[in-house]
Structure 1
Amino acid sequence: MTVSAADYPGASVNPSPNQGDRANGRKPDMIILHYTGMPSADQALSWLCNEESQVSSHYFVHEDGRIVQLVPEGRRAWHAGKSSWAGESDINSCSIGIEIANPGHPGGLPDFPDAQIKSVADLCLNCGKRWKIPPERVLGHSDVAPIRKVDPGENFPWERLYLDGVGHWINPTQISGGRFFQYGESGQPVEALQSMLSLYGYAIETTGSFCDRTKGVVEAFQRHFRPQLVDGIADFSTIDTLHRLLAALPKYRRC
């Protein structure tokens, strides 16, 4: 099935064959943001529309703000891969994927142009309103696939999107000294950290051991919510920012 008309007003259409049915009639209740991680937008768009790639997204946003729809919103685009959030492991069946043209880490993490971010915000707001997607379920690829993925990266302006009404955000706690937890440690404080990360939505077991997985999830959290320093060490700034984000979630998510 191809896109006959764009779901988002103003988007052009460039159909991708890489799509399928959403499992069990699922409707999207998440939005996942990616960067393309390729040298040019045209190269990335061509790859997403190439059957050989076996990857796609619902939307593609150029640096100048132009939006292209590749897969109908009612269909399952192949953008998240092996991923999980809040107990859901088939992220592709319950999400809308948006690829944002940017070379990412391979290209030195260049800034995202203002026109591009405005279009991303407008697109997220429109999709969120039509599908009743809560702001806190607008996430990065690295959130749902820690360690495996790092996009849209620590240079992505999540605060800017939040000020436009997209996503969940608080100003991160200032980095300072004090007690911290890191790889190799174990005990009740590590267990509490893992529990908080899991409660927020990250796929992590509460083992009490600061393992490779825990370090990777802490890095993913920092990349999104405390981007000033992404080192996988759970310092006071990281833990306090996480605690305040949990406290700021809607009441139904804190039950």
Structure 2
Amino acid sequence: MEPLLDVFTADSPLVAEVLPSPNHGERLGVERPDMLVLHYTGMASTERAVAWLRDPARSVSAHYLVYEDGRIIQMVPEARRAWHAGASFWDGVNDLNSRSIGIEIANGGHDHGYPDFPAAQIEAVAALASDIVSRRAIAPARVLAHSDIAPRRKTDPGEKFPWEALYRAGVGHLVPEAPVTDGRFFMRGEHGQPIEALQAMLALYGYGVPISGTYCEETEAVVTAFQRHFRRARVDGIADVSTLTTLYELVASRPDPVDTSGA
């Protein structure tokens, strides 16, 4: 017998239907969420993904899911701690489930053909994200991809996701991508002060990366995650001039300090 799920009132007026998930808990150590994390469902069927996120046998959920046609459902109240981030890190914090609101975007992902995101879906994601960051006063640089906070495990929502559509709606932090050109680049196995400077800049923005001066596997994963979000023209884990320039401009133009107080 399916367990009784608590019905609640949607937090956003954009929600078409509330389909409660039992997979949530109390937020720990924070008064309010101060991050927004975007995912793709990564399953062949959207209905299967919805069922998965609502299955009490699974330790996974999200606050919202946006269908391909733009319909929005809510599964966990924003005040509750949904289980969407998993093992993750951003700017000194590990328990990102307690700090964030999670939006799942219906898309098969890299394992299922990685289709383009339909225009109606992106419009709905941008509207929902705009509503959330406005109500919750979430800073632009705290709107992140799942791959940003778990670069060795996750690739979503991936390099096809049009972050610029959200940026035009006043959501997130973005700078124009520096053009991909020939020139000096850094890659796995290299050592030295320039690598340390790259790592320090990534860490300053919030990524979990060792500042060791060695371009290790973890550094490569973080550079790849950065490219998936901010320099999508080429996603290869190699820190070329375009990647370095885009990263520098991003850090230099960040419109707000990162607040980890939870206040």
The interval holding the TM-score normalised by the smaller chain is over 0.9
- 2:207, 2:32 → 1: CA distance? 21
Q: TM-score, normalised by structure 1?
A: 0.97
Inter-CA distance 94–220: structure 2 relative to 1 (3 Å threshold): same
Structure 2 counterpart of 1:197? 202
C-alpha distance in 1, partners of 2:218/2:39?
A: 21
Match of 2:13 in 1: 9
Deviation digits for residues 73-107 of structure 1 (CA, Å, limit 9, x no counterpart): 00000000000111111100000000000001012
Alignment match, 2:100 = 95
Question: Alignment identity in percent?
Answer: 57
- 33, 36, 41: which one aligns with 2:38: 33
Number of aligned residues: 253
User: Is this contact kept in 2: 1:138–1:166, CA < 8 A?
Assistant: yes
Please report how far the alpha carbon of residue 159 of structure 1 lies from its aligned counterpart in structure 2 after TM superposition: 1.2
User: Which residue, out of 172, 175, 180, partners 2:177?
Assistant: 172
Task: Could you list the structure 1 runs, at least 4 aligned residues long, displaced by more than 4 angstroms after superposition.
Answer: none
Q: Distance in 2 between matches of 1:180 and 1:172?
A: 16
Please report how far the alpha carbon of residue 143 of structure 1 lies from its aligned counterpart in structure 2 after TM superposition: 0.2
Give per-residue Cα distances to partners, 1:127-162, cap 9 Å, x unaligned.
111111011211000000001100001110111211
Equivalent residue, structure 1, for 2:132: 127
Alpha-carbon distance in 2 for matches of 1:131, 1:113: 27
1:21 to 20, 23, 26: 26
1:166–1:94: structure 2 CA closer, same or farther, 3 Å change rule? same
Gapped regions of structure 1 (runs ≥ 5): none
**Match in the other structure for 1:186:** 191
Q: Distance in 1 between matches of 2:231 and 2:8?
A: 41
Of the three residues 220, 223, 237, the one matched with 1:218 is 223
Note the residue ranges of structure 2 that are not aligned, 5 or more in a row: 259-263
SS in 2 for 1:252: coil
Q: Which has the higher helix share?
A: 1
Alignment-mate amino acid for residue 12 of structure 2:
Y
